[in-house]
């Protein structure tokens, strides 16, 4: 079992930055494939960024060049650095984890991750 706890959300003006953190505990072998997702009111949950055990990352087109996903294995923490924030980035952000798989990106794109956090709210005002 893997427990995920997000932090770092808040309210910022457009153009600002935030760094989200996801603390990972429990069976960390269940977290070799990790990602950030977001869900705005009235919209479906969408994948924002994913990172695999080897450190390779994948981003949604809407955040490429603005967001950076990373992980610190020593601290069992995953991060999402968000720069040049836009009002359309406003959403509840969730971190998610999945046991090691060669299909990490497919699992991410299908939103089929095994473990999910409770979310942290990000609000960007214009």
Is residue 29 classed exposed, middle or buried when 0-12, 13-18 and 19+ CB atoms within 10 A define those classes? exposed
Mean pLDDT across 3-29? 94
- pLDDT reported for residue 30: 64
Q: What confidence tens digit (pLDDT) does each residue in 17-37 have?
A: 999 999 999 876 667 899 999
* Separation between Cα atoms, residue 12 and residue 14, nearest integer Å: 7
pLDDT at residue number 3? 94
CA–CA dist 72, 90 (Å, integer): 26
**Site of tokens 């490429």:** 64
Q: Which residue has the higher pLDDT, 115 or 100?
A: 115
CA distance 112 to 104: 10
| Mean pLDDT of the 72-92 span | 95
């Amino acid at each position: 079992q893997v427990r995920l706890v997000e932090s770092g959300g808040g309210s910022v003006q457009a153009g600002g930055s935030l760094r989200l953190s996801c603390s990972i505990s429990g069976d960390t072998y269940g977290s070799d494939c990790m990602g950030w997702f977001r869900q705005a009111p009235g919209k479906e949950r969408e994948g924002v960024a994913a990172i695999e055990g080897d450190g390779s990352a994948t981003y949604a087109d809407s955040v490429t060049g603005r967001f950076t996903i990373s992980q610190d294995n020593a601290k069992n923490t995953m991060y999402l650095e968000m720069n040049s924030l836009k009002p359309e980035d406003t959403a509840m952000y969730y971190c998610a984890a999945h046991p090691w798989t060669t299909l990490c990106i497919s699992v991410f794109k299908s939103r089929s991750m095994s473990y999910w956090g409770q979310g942290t709210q990000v609000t960007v005002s214009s």
